[in-house]
Amino acid sequence: MCILGKDKLVELIDKCKCIYPFDMSLLDGDGYVLTVKDEMTLQYLEHRNLISKEVIFTPPAYVAHLTAKSRYGRAGLSFLNAAKVHSGFVGRLALELVNLSNNRTPITIKRGDPLMHIEFITRIGKPSPYMGEYQFQYMSEEEIETYVPILRGVFDNYKELAKIWFRNKPLRE
């Protein structure tokens, strides 16, 4: 297992649309900096979900790892959810935050602000695609349709996976 370097990450993004929309200026070291979809102010001790602007797709040979931008930690924001994105997941990320600032003041995160680093890590062994209820979370029907051909191309068992992923939605064969 290893973290993809910038050149390999750009190749993966071009091939699989694993970050969309993609902005070359948000590449940072060996990762990418995800931004915020909508502005949000968290009061002291308030816990809320913040949604990424970008749709993330983690292809079957990868997992992704998340780390918070340190400036938010210094301001008092704490990230509560797991720092991993499963193989096969497609959707916007819901980032669970709580304001624990020492000075007990509100913290505002603006639309488009850089919030979270994401790094893609190769995995070994047979893929175990994400099968949870959050597949395609916070995506429009048009965005989902954009990913169907990509998913079809990277999963040999797409038809079986689609039956699970779309069990409560129109099946996309």
- Confirm if 29 and 5 have CB atoms less than 8 A apart: no
> CA-CA distance, 54 to 21, in Å (whole number)?
6
pLDDT tens digits along 116-161: 999 999 999 888 899 998 999 999 999 999 999 999 999 999 999 9
| Dihedral in degrees, nearest 10, Cα atoms 7, 8, 10, 16 | 170
Walk me through the domains of the chain, giving residue ranges and CATH numbers. Answer: 6-165 (2.70.40.10)
First to last CA, the chain: 32
The CA R_g of the chain, rounded to the nearest whole Å, is 17
| Dihedral in degrees, nearest 10, Cα atoms 128, 17, 120, 99 | -100
For 131, the token pair is 């099968």
- Confirm if 62 and 118 have CB atoms less than 8 A apart: no
Q: Residue 6: pLDDT band by 50, 70, 90 thresholds?
A: very high
What does the pLDDT average to over 88-101?
Answer: 95
Average pLDDT, the chain: 92
pLDDT tens digits along 12-43: 999 999 999 999 999 998 999 999 999 999 99
pLDDT higher at 68 or 8: 8
Q: How far is CA 156 from the centre of its chain?
A: 23
> CA-CA distance, 53 to 76, in Å (whole number)?
22
pTM (2 decimals)?
0.92
Q: How far is CA 15 from the centre of its chain?
A: 17
For 164, the token pair is 């699970």
Query: 29 CB contacts (<8 Å, ≥6 apart)?
Result: 6
